[in-house]
């Protein structure tokens, strides 16, 4: 079972706990193939989806997962406002406590916001992305997708290419893949390469050709224009020329390479349309698997809470 009643980041999980989530998710995939895609597991439980940042994919994925487990769900899209983030969060927590939810799924633009909530709130907290810090369920669904195709994670060469600096997906994925024994390569222009990355045992490079060569998995990350408050790249056209994933570059990888992207994609900026829709792409499978992985997380945390009573 999971040791913590919250899922705040991959940093807190052991390899055994990661394997438990992935194994549980595998059992959950079968539910999506049924005529009635619903089980009564979380009947009577209330889950609040609290999204301070715009999100369609992750929020919808959590909502589908919650409904498939028969939880009562409430989605609150908190618009960006001029209120300082500390006050907003505390006010929201007070209101939430009055509703006594069992779990809160939270996305916030500030790194560490779910950790604060976990300290203040009695509910189990699931981090659905906090600032540039972590996005644990994305990393878990990525790992699940890789394991489905490669039957393992250990020993695989995984190249992560794109706007690494602003990416919480990168930080969660690097930790997870390292814990599970994968050989992680990170590729970005030096302006978008986080300084702390080599500390995580990652091979950092500015050459996409080196990163992709012999790779089992190529994970492309979005250029996050909305987080860039400076000139990180000269132009999107130049970025695509130097760092974009094209069919020519895919040929340098292993013949059974899989191409991943957490979405939303900037076609023609980080990835060529032909590659995104091509035979090696598992991008839509990632979306499908996201529901199963989130069902697994909800199930495992809900049981934990009962035992803590």
Partner 1 sequence: MPQVMDADRMARALTRIAHEILERNRGTSDLALVGIRTRGVPLARRIAHALKEINHEEVPTGALDITLYRDDLMRHAVGPQPVVRRTEIPFSIDDKRILLVDDVLYTGRTIRSALDALIDFGRPRSIQLIVLVDRGHRELPIKADYVGKNLPTSLRQSVQVRLQEIDGEDGVLLDDDKVEA
Non-local CB neighbours of 235 within 8 Å, separated by 6+ positions:
none
For the chain, helix (H) and strand (E) counts, in that order, are 11, 9
Q: Which of 4, 15, 26, 109 binds partner 1 (CB under 8 A)?
A: 26
Site string for partner 1, 259-298 (x = CB under 8 A): -------------------------------------x--
Would you count residue 24 as binding partner 1 (CB under 8 A)? yes
In the complex with partner 1, the residue whose CB is nearer, 45 or 59, is 45
Closest CA to 276 of 285, 59, 176: 285
| Active-site residue, 115 included | no
Would you count residue 16 as binding partner 1 (CB under 8 A)? no
Give 76's strand partners.
50
| Active-site residue, 241 included | no
Would you count residue 132 as binding partner 1 (CB under 8 A)? no
Would you count residue 83 as binding partner 1 (CB under 8 A)? no
Categorise residue 112: left if φ over 0, alpha if ψ from -120 to 50, beta otherwise. Answer: left
Environment class of residue 67 by beta-carbon count within 10 Å: exposed (0-12), middle (13-18) or buried (19+)?
A: middle
Q: Among residues 5, 6, 58, 88, which one is catalytic?
A: 58
Sign of CA dihedral 254, 257, 263, 265: positive
Determine contact, residues 276/285, Cβ cutoff 8 Å: no
| Active-site residue, 107 included | yes
Determine contact, residues 112/133, Cβ cutoff 8 Å: yes
Q: Which of 35, 255, 264, 279 binds partner 1 (CB under 8 A)?
A: 35
Would you count residue 306 as binding partner 1 (CB under 8 A)? yes
| Active-site residue, 237 included | no
Binding site for partner 1 (CB under 8 A): 1, 20, 23-24, 26-28, 30-31, 34-36, 38-42, 44-45, 69, 296, 299-300, 302-309
Active site residues: 57-58, 85, 107, 135
């Amino acid at each position: 079972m999971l040791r913590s009643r919250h899922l705040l980041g991959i940093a807190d999980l052991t390899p055994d706990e990661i394997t438990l989530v992935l194994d549980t998710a595998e059992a959950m995939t079968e539910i999506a193939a049924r005529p009635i895609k619903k089980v009564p597991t979380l009947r009577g439980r209330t889950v609040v989806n609290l999204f301070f940042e715009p999100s369609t994919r992750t929020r919808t994925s959590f909502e589908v997962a919650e409904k498939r487990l028969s939880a009562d769900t409430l989605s609150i899209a908190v618009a960006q406002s001029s209120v300082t983030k500390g006050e907003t969060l505390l006010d929201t927590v007070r209101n939430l406590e009055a509703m006594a939810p069992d779990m809160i799924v939270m996305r916030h633009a500030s790194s560490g916001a779910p950790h604060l909530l976990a300290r203040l709130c009695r509910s189990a907290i699931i981090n659905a992305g906090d600032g540039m810090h972590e996005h644990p369920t994305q990393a878990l669904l990525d790992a699940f997708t890789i394991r489905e195709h490669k039957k393992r994670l250990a020993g695989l060469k995984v190249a992560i290419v794109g706007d690494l600096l602003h990416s919480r997906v990168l930080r969660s994925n690097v930790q997870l893949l390292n814990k599970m024994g994968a050989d992680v390569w990170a590729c970005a222009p030096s302006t978008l390469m986080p300084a702390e990355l080599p500390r995580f045992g990652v091979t950092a490079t500015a050459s996409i050709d080196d990163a992709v060569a012999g790779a089992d998995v190529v994970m492309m990350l979005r250029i996050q224009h909305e987080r860039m408050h400076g000139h990180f790249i000269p132009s999107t056209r130049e970025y695509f020329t130097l760092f974009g994933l094209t069919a020519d570059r895919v040929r340098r990888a292993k013949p059974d390479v899989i191409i991943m992207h957490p979405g939303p994609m900037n076609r023609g900026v980080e990835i060529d349309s032909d590659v995104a829709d091509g035979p090696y792409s598992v991008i839509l499978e990632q979306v499908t698997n996201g529901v199963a992985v989130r069902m697994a997380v909800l199930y495992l945390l809900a049981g934990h809470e009962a035992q803590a009573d």
